[in-house]
Each structure stands twice: as C-alpha cells, then as structure tokens.
Amino acid sequence: MEVLNKETSETAVKKNFLEEIIENDLASGKHSTVMTRFPPEPNGYLHIGHAKSICLNFGLAKQYGGKTNLRFDDTNPVKEDTEYVDSIKEDIHWLGFDWANEFYASDYFDQLYEWAEQLIKAGLAYVDDQTQEEIRKGRGTVQQPGVNSPYRDRSVEENLDLFRRMKAGEFEDGSKVLRAKIDMAHPNMLFRDPLLYRIIHCSHHRTGDKWCIYPMYDYAHGQCDSIEHITHSICTLEFDVHRPLYDWFIEKLGIFPSHQYEFARLNLTYTVMSKRKLLELVKNNYVSGWDDPRMPTICGIRRRGYTPESIRNFAATVGVAKRDNLIDLSLLESCLREDLNKRSNRYMVVTDPVKLVITNWKDQDGSGVEYCNGVCNPEDPQAGTRAIPFGPELYIERADFMEEPPKKFFRLKPGGEVRLKYSYIIKCEEVIKDSEGNIIEIRCTYDPDTKPGTGTWRSVKGTIHWVSATHCKKVHLRLYDRLFTQADMGGIPEGEDYKNFLNPDSLVECDALAEPALLQDISGIAVQFERNGYYIKDKDSTEDLLVFNKATGLKSSF
C-alpha cells in the first residue's frame, strides 16, 4: 500500500469531495441544513481512526452551520458496556467537540420493531427457522445464486404470529430469525434475504430484559439515521456495498431519505486499530491498559502527551480520501511537535549524567549559588523566564563530552570550550577516571565575563544543557517507541500472528536529573526537555518521584 506523509498526503487547501457534496445539496435546496452523526458501538475505546471520523462528522456540520448527534450503536447487547459509553463521551469532549443530542440505537427499538411488522405485512419479510449454517449455505456464492429457504413463503399471518412470539421470548437463541424477502440470486450478496432480527436472550445495558430480539446493523443503521433526519451519513469505505441496502429499507418504509457517503478509513504505519486486537493487547497484558501511552486509543495518545489541537490538525492534514491508504506515523508526530513547539515550557533535564566541576568558581555573593535566567518558551515571549540555580558542581550529558572527538564535534572536549545554556562559557581542563577507565568527573574553568546579559558577549560553537548537582531533582522517564516493528501492519500475511511484530523495545525506563522548576510546572501539557524531546507528567507520579512519558523527540525519528 502507498504510504502517505506530509509531502504527499492530501491537504486541506482543496475542497474535499464531502464538502463539494454538501455545498451542492445546500445550493440546490435538497437540504436546508446539515445533520451528521458519529455512531460508535460501545464495545471498546475510541482510537485515532475514530478521531478522524469525529473530526470529519463534527467538523463538517460546524463548517456549514449544522449539527451532529452522538449515537451509540448498541444493537448487540453481548459486547457492549456503559464503561465504554462513558469513555467515548469523555474522549469526544476532550477532542473539543460537543454533540447536539445523545442518542442510542436502542432508543428506537420500538420504532424499528414496528417497521419490521410493516415489512412483514407488505410481504417483504419472513421468519426463517433454518440454522445459521443452513442460512449461510443457502446464500450461495458470488458465482452461484443462493436457494430459497423452505420457510420463505410463509403467509403474512404466520410470519406476524411467529415474529410476535419471537419478541415475546417463546423461542431459543438461534432457532429463528427475521429476514427481508428480496432476491436469493441478487448479484449483491447482501441482498440475498438479509437478516433483520436475531434472538439473543441477554440483558441490554439500557433496555435491560425488555427485548430478546435485536436488530442487525444493516436493518438498524439507515433507519436510525432517518429517524434523526441525518442528511449526510458518513462512514468508511467498506460499507459501500451496504449502501444499496441502506437505501432499500428507507425506500420501502417511505421514511426520511438519509444518504450514506463513504471515505477511506485511517490506517497508520506501525499501528493496529481493530478493536478486537486492541482488546487482546490489553487483556493479555502486552500493554498496561487501554490508556497505555503506546496504544493508538484516544486515551492512550492523550496520556502520551498528544493535544486535541494536534489531533485535529492531523485529521485536517490527512484530508478525506476515497481510496484506502496508509498514513506515516511521523505525520502524526510532526503535528504534535508543531503544536508543542509553540506552547510548551522548556526545561533542562540530564538523562545520562556525568559530573562537571568548575575549579575556579568564585562565590559571587557568598551563598554559593547563582541564578541564570532561562527563557520558558522562545516561541512565546508571554511565557516569561525561569530562574535556574547554578553552582560549581554540575551534571551534563555523558554524550556531550568526548575525549577523542571527530572533527565536527562542537560539544565539550579536552582543552575545548562550550557554552552552558543560559550561562557561562567553560573550558575543559582535566578528565578524572576511575580504575576501569570510566570518566567520573570533568574539571573545567569558567569565564566569568560570559554570563548572558552581563560582561562581554562572545560566542562558541557548541551549547550544552546542564543541571546544578546540589539543586537538581531526580525524575523517572518512560521512553516510548512505536509498538510494532512492521510499517504496514495490515499487510501481514494471512495466518501470521500480528503479535510477532511487537517491538520489544517499545518501552525503556530510566531516571534523569531535572532543574527544579520542572517540578513546579503547571502548564498541563507536555513540556520540552531541551535538546531532547517532549515529555508529559504521568498520573503515576508520586510526591517523591515525578514520572514523565516521552511524547516525541524534537526531530522525526524515522
């Protein structure tokens, strides 16, 4: 499959085909207003693919002054739960959208039932006693027409009686179904007498034990749209073969003519999005939960440090396509980086420390400490400055010093100079090693004339970050990488287990030393660890130890 990235994906500059359809419908007077819906099944947590659909449905309605309903497609009581309902509502709000109405397909069970009787009375539906297996066999194949059920020609009276008794609970699960009577030789397999109702003796999360027959997706979806006067029912591409059936029910029942439009579902590299697989990852502890920061769920990427702004921007950048494609994960990351770069506070954090001692330190005011002025966010002058304590004992990144550096190494080296960010220029005078040859201390002198804002400015090639050894605070870092090693997770051969492609290094943990101001950050969004990446404080933080999740690096890691 073609992989689209920032350069090749459709951008929001051009009108997309849905915008064109809506504008035509409004101009022609076919519709006077736009009504869309987002129809999740409450059987799992929402993921970034749903976010795309949410941005599209809510975004289009907003754009044209219309409204969007949230409708839970709760027609299968076996897999559904209020836990999911609550999380779905929370996630949509977090993304920045609000629905006009909160509806449930189950709100319409009475109406759907009445319409089923109407179809029976019109000779367009019948009760079938065949087993699931017999029905499947009778359907035929794409090449071969199906055969009529032996129960297909029951009288209207008999069908009505049986259907009412199905509803009354007289029959066992699987013993009978209600089917539409269309055409067992129809070229579209979905038209070969599709199932309308099945018997499931199971309590429903909203209707309790009122019903023991439940409508099928194809029978319910279009009619629910119609009841709510949905003008543009937007769904993913795989439903295009269902559209004629969607229209068939609406036409036969003579109800509000909702229409279905399909767009390509969002696929991301290194990511699985099927709820079944995500559930399996959670249930079998491959991840810590639905909100594990490696999960593509909305609660997962939120915990990872993603912002609603970055996701909405991503959805707009990806655009709407009519052909299936695969979006580069780096595009999602770059949308986050773009947002955080503008908004997040900067702090210095050393992840792999080596001690640096300033041997000619002059205690300026006798307290032993001096403060440097750090700009909180160079992209936002309003963000102000922070005071960073400086002293004669510091930590720097081990990787910022090299004893035998290559030519273009502009950080610290023996005899070389470097600027400590927001502070003085220092010069490496001596390196202390332990008995095994590991560097344990770098001894430097500082040039007191080079503090920014005082003395005389002179520049050196390299600038490195640091923390004061006496003031720094220990924090814990969780460094996340992509969850899978294979870019096209949809392209895994049939029979091969997707779990074989789990990235064993998707989580690496370590401690780090931070400047004290980090612990006081109340911005609520991810912060930038300078020269490193974006990190967000995790809910697992305690009073003694803050935990930070790595959202993304400063540059694309791909």
* Chain residue whose CB lies nearest ligand ATP: 49
Q: Does 215 bind ligand ATP (CB under 6 A)?
A: no
Q: Phi and psi of 538, rounded to 5°?
A: -95, 155
* Candidate segments 44-52, 247-255, 386-394, 530-538, binder of ligand ATP by CB under 6 A: 44-52
* Candidate segments 143-151, 199-207, 267-275, 386-394, binder of ligand ATP by CB under 6 A: 267-275
Q: How far is the CB of 105 from ligand ATP (least distance, A)?
A: 11
Q: Does 10 bind ligand ATP (CB under 6 A)?
A: no
- To 10 degrees, what angle do helices 156-168 and 109-121 make? 160
**176 is in the binding site of which of Mg ion, ligand ATP, none (Cβ under 5 to 8 A by kind)?**
none
Residues 51-90, one symbol each (x = binds ligand ATP by CB under 6 A, - = not), give -xx-------------------x-----------------
Q: Does 181 bind ligand ATP (CB under 6 A)?
A: no
**53 is in the binding site of which of Mg ion, ligand ATP, none (Cβ under 5 to 8 A by kind)?**
ligand ATP
Pick between residue 83 and residue 114 the one whose CB is nearest to ligand ATP: 83
Provide the token pair at 134: 């017999």
Residue 31 CA to residue 6 CA, distance in Å, equals 35
Provide the token pair at 400: 């910022």
**265 is in the binding site of which of Mg ion, ligand ATP, none (Cβ under 5 to 8 A by kind)?**
ligand ATP
**236 is in the binding site of which of ligand ATP, Mg ion, none (Cβ under 5 to 8 A by kind)?**
ligand ATP
Residue 258 CA to residue 254 CA, distance in Å, equals 11
Signed CA dihedral, 326, 327, 330, 333: sign only = negative
506, 557 in Cβ contact below 8 A? no
Pick between residue 259 and residue 265 the one whose CB is nearest to Mg ion: 265
Residues 346-385, one symbol each (x = binds ligand ATP by CB under 6 A, - = not), give ----------------------------------------
Q: Name the 3-class secondary structure at 346.
A: strand
Question: Diameter of the chain by CA atoms?
Answer: 103
Q: According to CB under 6 A, which one of 166, 230, 235, 318 is a site residue for ligand ATP?
A: 235
Pick between residue 80 and residue 309 the one whose CB is nearest to Mg ion: 80
* Candidate segments 25-33, 41-49, 417-425, 467-475, binder of Mg ion by CB under 5 A: 41-49
Q: Which of the residues are catalytic?
A: 41, 265, 275
Pick between residue 50 and residue 232 the one whose CB is nearest to ligand ATP: 50
Residue 1 CA to residue 202 CA, distance in Å, equals 41
360, 445 in Cβ contact below 8 A? yes
Q: Does 274 bind ligand ATP (CB under 6 A)?
A: yes
* Candidate segments 33-41, 112-120, 325-333, 475-483, binder of Mg ion by CB under 5 A: 33-41
Signed CA dihedral, 86, 89, 94, 98: sign only = negative
Q: According to CB under 6 A, which one of 34, 39, 287, 483 is a site residue for ligand ATP?
A: 39
Closest-CA residue to 487 (of 498, 474, 496, 477)? 498
Q: Does 275 bind ligand ATP (CB under 6 A)?
A: yes
Q: How far is the CB of 192 from ligand ATP (least distance, A)?
A: 23
Task: Name residue 134's amino acid.
Answer: E
Q: Does 444 bind ligand ATP (CB under 6 A)?
A: no
Long-range contact pairs involving 361-367 (C-beta distance under 8 Å, separation at least 24): 361/391, 361/392, 361/446, 362/448
* Candidate segments 26-34, 37-45, 229-237, 449-457, binder of Mg ion by CB under 5 A: 37-45
Q: Name the 3-class secondary structure at 549.
A: strand
511, 502 in Cβ contact below 8 A? no
Q: Name the 3-class secondary structure at 112.
A: helix
Q: How far is the CB of 142 from ligand ATP (least distance, A)?
A: 23
Q: How far is the CB of 454 from ligand ATP (least distance, A)?
A: 56
Hunting for tokens 């970055």 — which residue is that?
Answer: 310
Per residue in 323-351, is it b (16+ CB within 10 Å) or e — as a string? eebbbbbbbbbbbbbebbeebbbbbbbbb
Q: How far is the CB of 172 from Mg ion (least distance, A)?
A: 27
Residues 6+ apart with CB under 8 A from 292: 282, 300, 303
Q: Does 5 bind ligand ATP (CB under 6 A)?
A: no
Strands 349-350 and 507-514: antiparallel
Q: How far is the CB of 49 from ligand ATP (least distance, A)?
A: 2
What is the binding site for ligand ATP (CB under 6 A)?
39-41, 49-50, 52-53, 73, 235-236, 265-266, 273-275
What is the binding site for Mg ion (CB under 5 A)?
41
